[in-house]
Amino acid sequence: MKRIFISDLHLDGYRKDLTRAFTQFLSEQCQTINELYILGDFFELWLGDDDQSPLNNEVIEALSSLPCDVFIMHGNRDFLIGKAFCNAAGAKLLPDPYPIILGDQPALLMHGDSLCTRDEEYMKARTLLRSDAFQQDFLSKQMQERKIIAEQIRGKSQKVSREKAEDIMDVTPEEVTKVMNQAKTSILVHGHTHRPAVHEVDLHFGPGTRYVLGDWHTSTQFLRADGSDLELVKYVF
Ligand code: MN
């Protein structure tokens, strides 16, 4: 079973180069694999499945013509991706976290934002934004109004991020070991932090490995899995 894991593409209507890189990646890397996993922040912003932007239509077209199965997990920027988009794209929406088996190894897939528990302000905002009440209210508004609200939230979070200490923006190591111990998994794959790397983790039952995927704005690193053989690979476009 051949799989590819990507995240944090942050596709944006203003960044046609990224959309091009993504479609090129699909034709170069994803034609002979079984499964493609997109682990969140696929889009820079998601206003709702009813947003018929040229970018969204192009992505639907590209994903639906892939020969492999496609799985999508929410990120903190595109958590409003819904069933309508996934159906159109021929993709399956995954909950976060999501357990899978790689070869004979249990692994856990996450976006990664829920591991950044030291950022208390963000964790609070996350709970609010993910609530049904917020989402229903947001999605009931006109597209133009949704855009304004989303940009306000984004402007606020960018300003706040710049002022926060570097280590707060990374995962909490204790949260990583807690999650991996609870799930009894020695492999964790996530994105979000934009710090692509392979980390060793000490778990109750032995050594574990945490694979962090890269974002497509700075260092495009994706995970390639052939059975239980895993490799973090740099993609140059
Ligand atoms: Mn993220």
User: Confidence class of residue 159 from pLDDT cuts 50, 70 and 90?
Assistant: confident
Q: How far is the CA of 32 from the centre of ligand 1 (A)?
A: 28
**Angstrom distance (rounded) from CA 76 to CA 229:** 29
Q: For 107-124, write each residue's pLDDT tens digit.
A: 999 999 999 999 999 999
**How remote is the CA of residue 81 from the centroid of ligand 1, in Å?**
14
- pLDDT per residue over 43-78, tens digit each? 999 999 999 999 999 999 999 999 999 999 999 999
The pLDDT of residue 153 is 86
Helical spans, DSSP H, in the chain: 16-29, 54-64, 83-89, 120-129, 132-139, 143-163, 173-183
Residues spanned by the domain of 60: 2-234
Q: What is the CATH number of the domain that holds 120?
A: 3.60.21.10
Domain count, the chain: 1
79 C-alpha vs ligand 1 centroid, how far in Å?
Answer: 10
In angstroms, what is the span from residue 44 Cα to ligand 1's centroid?
A: 9
Span from the CA of 144 to the centroid of ligand 1 (angstroms): 24
What Rg, from alpha-carbon coordinates, does the chain have? 17
Confidence at residue 93, expressed as pLDDT on a 0 to 100 scale: 98
Ion ligand 1 residue ranges (Cβ < 5 Å): 41, 75-76, 192
Phi and psi, residue 205, nearest 5°: -105, 10
Q: Report pTM.
A: 0.96
Q: Confidence class of residue 155 from pLDDT cuts 50, 70 and 90?
A: confident
